[in-house]
Each structure stands twice: as structure tokens, then as C-alpha cells.
Amino acid sequence: MVVSSYASINFSSIWIPRCCLLLLLGSSVTVPDIYQPALCSLYAWLRHSSLFTSSTFETWWTVVVYAIIEVSYTYRFGHNPHLRLANCGKDGNTNTKPIPKMQRPKHRLVEGLTYIFPLLLLDLTLIKKYAGVSVQDMALSGNYDLSAVTKTIHGTFLAPTLHNFTLSSPLQTRRALPVESPISRELALQLMTSLFIYDMLFFFFHLTLHHPKFASIHSQHHNHREINPQITNQLDIVERLGLVLLANFSLNIIGAHVLTRTMFVLIFVWLLVDIHSGMDLPWGYDKILPQGWASGSKRHSMHHRVGNRYYEPFFNWWDDAYEWVCRRRVGGRVNVKLNESIDDEAAADPQRVNGLIDPE
């Protein structure tokens, strides 16, 4: 008998990354001075980089980060069958199901273009508005005359402003950045807060996508036989834009620093790929965080199997509250299989179409 990876985890080893995370967060918040010289040097270098000040930086940065993380997860998925959730039976044995059909990077050009094009269109036509940047600097980056600033441009991101298109400046190519670097306390608190906000917003957005009226939008993401890392970006263009806009809103609404946004992409993309990995990894973030806090790959894999529970991407609180409400609905339409385990679902009919809409 081959013991499943989850059962064989030495839980004492989880305390290594857990303690490192606690130490990093704790010191960032309580003694930010120890990180400030490094942060100031890093941000000064970035701020004077033509690449970092480009209006398209965040789009290309996201693409590069996603390519690195997703490819590494896909390689591990293909070369470690014992980690795949589909191969982990509830009796502790490891099955040997064939690897699902996946595409090589060179065959995913259309997928990449459908992601990049609408974002580049926004990057090259709208003025970037970040906290800590004066309206005057925003205006200059958008090719506006400073005498018309108060009448034409509002500093809030909630009021989008088009670039002032002229022959000498046909596109929005530059973004105005804050002068000062953030402190580590600001970075840590903004990262955590933005992730919590996104997690909440996407829960409701995701729940809406599972309504029959929007099934055609979300069905592409559930069109697979076994969840794997490449499913992360298998999205309809409407859903993909919704995901990106919600992430941007989560950062903008709290006035996140530009450097926070750059670091957010790293964590955000890693979490998205991790929950779609289809693997039970020893150091999964759901194991590092306190038990019951995080959804992780197993919980999200169940969502892709049944489709009528576990809508929250990263954490559990909104899902738990939703199920608590559902338990108390008498004669309601929502059907939540509260007593069904992930292993029960793994043993279900393999020909069953992945869940998308509440079957009731």
C-alpha cells in the first residue's frame, strides 16, 4: 500500500514555513526600520527604470509571473502522479490514471493574446491613477496641459480619464509613480487587506457566475476531466476581465502603493495556480495557514467536481457562512452536499460532467 502524500506529511515540518511567515510578517509590522534601507534602494532603482514606469508594466509582469509559476506547477503535476488528487483514493492507495490532455506553451499563443490584448488596450488608453501621486503628475503622464487639470482630471481611480491623444503622444505609454517608497508595515498590511477584499468580492462574483443565466460565461472554466494547473487561465474573456478588475479594485480601494501592487501579483498568481494545481502538495498554503482558514487545492478541486459549493478562492470564511445559511433554508433551492467528502467525489462516476450549476 502506498500511503497518500497528505497522510504521510510530517506536520512538524509545516512549522518551518509557518514560523518563517510569522517572523516575516511580525517583523515587517512591528520593526519596519530593519527593512527600510532595502525597500528604499529597491524602489529608487525601480522608479528610475523605464520598464517599471511603462504603462504596460503590470500586464507584462503578470504574464511573466504566471508563465513561470504555472509551468513549474504543470511540470510537477506531470512528473509526480502520487501528488495528483485524482490518483489519491480514500482507501490510501494511489491510482494510476492517465495524465489529462494539456497544451505545450508554444500552442497557447491564442490564450495568451486573449488575455493580453484587452489589458494592453486599457493600459495604452487610460491614465494610471495611484495613491501618493499628485493630479499634476497624472496629467503630465497623460499628455494634458496643467492649466486644464482641475477641470479635466480627477485624482480618484473611480473616475477613469482617457489619455489626451495627439500626433506627438498617440498612446498612454508612461505612468506616474509615488516619489517615496512604502514602509514594510504598509506593504504587509496592504497585501493582506487587498487579498481579503478580493477573496470576498470574488466569492460573490463566482457565486453569480454559477447562476444558470451566466452558465455560458463560466462553463469554459469547468470544461475538463481533471483539474490541473493549466485550468487556472482557462477562462472566458468576460470572466478573465472580471478577475483582473476585481484585483485592481481591491488594491485601489485601500490606496495600495505601486510596490504593493507589484508584490501582490506574485502572491495572487501563486495562489490562483496553487488552488487549480490538482495536487496535494506537502507545503500547500492551506497547510501552512491555521487549520480551517484556507481553501487550498483539495477544496477547490471539489468545487470543480460538484459545482455547488466552495466558491471562495483563497479562504473559507465566506463559504462557511454561505453553507451555514444554506443549512437553515427551508424549502430553498440551494442544494449543498454538506456531508460529502473529497474522496467520495473522487470515487464518483468518471464520465460525469464537472459541476457548474446547482443540479436541483
Residues 157-196 pLDDT 10s: 888 999 999 999 999 999 999 999 999 999 999 999 999 9
Give the helix, strand, coil percentages of the chain, each rounded to 5: 60, 5, 40
The CA angle 207-354-273, to the nearest 5 degrees, is 70
* Residue 346, φ and ψ in degrees, nearest 5: -65, -25
Residues 191-204 pLDDT 10s: 999 999 999 999 99
- CA–CA dist 106, 5 (Å, integer): 32
CB atoms within 10 A of CB 334: 14
% pLDDT > 90, the chain: 68
The pLDDT of residue 162 is 94
- pTM here is 0.87
- CA–CA dist 270, 268 (Å, integer): 5
pLDDT of 213 higher than 80:
yes
Residues 120-166 pLDDT 10s: 999 999 999 999 999 999 999 999 988 767 667 888 888 899 999 99
* Residue 279, φ and ψ in degrees, nearest 5: -125, 155
* Residue 4, φ and ψ in degrees, nearest 5: -65, 155
Residue 94: pLDDT band (50, 70, 90) is low
The CA angle 176-182-186, to the nearest 5 degrees, is 125
**Where is pLDDT greater, at 296 or 333?**
296
N-terminal to C-terminal alpha carbon distance within the chain: 39
Q: Residue 27 in contact with residue 303, Cβ under 8 Å?
A: no
The pLDDT of residue 147 is 76
pLDDT of 348 higher than 60:
no
Which amino acid is it at 163? H
According to DSSP, residue 355 is labeled P
- Type and span of the H or E element at 288: helix 285-288
Q: What is each CA distance from 22 to 15, 47, 277, 288, 324, in whole angstroms?
A: 10, 29, 25, 10, 30
Tell me what the pLDDT averaged over the chain comes to.
86
Residue 307: pLDDT band (50, 70, 90) is confident
- CA–CA dist 11, 41 (Å, integer): 38
User: Greatest CA span in the chain, whole angstroms?
Assistant: 77
Q: Residue 239 in contact with residue 118, Cβ under 8 Å?
A: no
**Torsion angle in degrees (nearest 10) through CA of 350, 351, 357, 358:** -60
